[in-house]
Structure 1
Amino acid sequence: MSRIFHAGSDVACQPVRFADLEQAGGMGEGLFVPLWPAAEATDKSEPKPGDAKPAEKPRRDQGPAMTETAPELSEPDDVKNPESAVDLEAVKKEAYTRGKKEGRAEAEKKLHTSAQALAEALEQISRLRESLLLKSREDMVRLIMGVARQVIHREISEKKDIIVSTVAGALEAAVADDEYYIRVHPDDLEMVKDHEPLFLAAMKGLRNIYFISDENISPGGCKAESRGGDVDATIESQLGEIEQHLKRAVV
């Protein structure tokens, strides 16, 4: 059996065999005899254009057709159960809110503690400042009074007639009376006696002045005594008044 191949195509050919020349009785049927009927050959011939393509028979060695199954994709839990997704979101939101509140409360607590500590520190500084200022003012007053005493004592030692001004001032400050007792330092006694007529003329209604030597009275000062009251015009009392005025003005 042989097949005839045409260039560029492989077509189905009718199988033939060599005929027996003696039985054929000549060349009537030709040298080749088909092995199967022409109908089968026609069926196996190349399909004409427009004919339906015959279904291919499965090959024996091909085995049963394998059907591939696509893997099943599992849906996320939040898609299967939307309520669980909502609950999870609510839990997250609640946790965030609670954490924010706790953080804010902790920050406010620390801020309050810091503010309280700062207030206490400022109060201590204020007290210390007041103490320093008070001490400084007191020191300043003492310094001024020390300088004043030195100046006054120097003036008294250089000007013996200062006692005259002191006695005249004491009499003016005293309650009006007809007689006075004036206590002075022994060193000032002679000076005031020499000015007795001046004192009597300056005080209206004054008839008698008695000068008394008293070592307890500092030079330049005196005490005027009468039935209406006493006047302390000593140097110590005058300096004391000056000191009080300074303290009120400075402190």
Structure 2
Amino acid sequence: MVILDRQRLYTSEDIAAVENRQLEDILLCRTQEAVESTITYARFLSKTGLTNENYPLFIKVLEIGNHWVIDALVGERDPFLFLSSIQPNTKIAQAMFALLAERHPGGIYPKTLSVILGVIQALYNSPEDGYSIFELTVSDLNALGKHLDKEKGQEDSLNRVILDILDKIGQLEGLHPDDRKMEEIAIHASAIRNHFFDETKNMVDVIPQVLLVRMNYQDFEVAPREEKPFKEKK
């Protein structure tokens, strides 16, 4: 016979696990209450400041995608420089390219995309050094290039940054001719860039059509309730 003990002693680890599960549920932002809680959490992180110890938490919030949350996290800072105090590394690069790959064109809030591109631009400012930190694949370049908006032209700030990154990566061509993978990456980066500028060519000729399907990030968001200023009763 099995006797069920209705009493349970919770250790610190048990409590921490419960807290983490609750926080993960909140960060999914599936309800207004969750969105509002996450906005408060993002504001707290923003006030705390970015460090080498807590930057994964900032990336976790960026992954949420909800633009009200991102506004609370980034605040008035230049989004392109938001993560500039952290030295680019493999894990950050993986996270940034994963975000680009997961979302369709138009499916990333522009401020979030600016943060992502700021990290990648800093990483490949010195193309060879950047490549040594994170070896790109053709899929990574497609994930980046698909967020170009050819209709907006090169004057668009996001387009300019993506084109600059592709230009830097294209400069890898010929540096190590025996490195076939690097050569392939450099050539593909230049091809994406050239297809953007060439009015006679379409992006679908260099990036798979399925990746170019445009979406609207706002279609997938839950909005918080309207904030009202607190007024003391007289």
User: TM-score when scaled to structure 2?
Assistant: 0.21
Q: Which has the higher helix share?
A: 2
Larger Rg: 1
Which structure has more relative contact order (CA 8 Å, sep 6+)? It is: 2
Q: Which has the higher strand share?
A: 1
User: TM-score when scaled to structure 1?
Assistant: 0.20
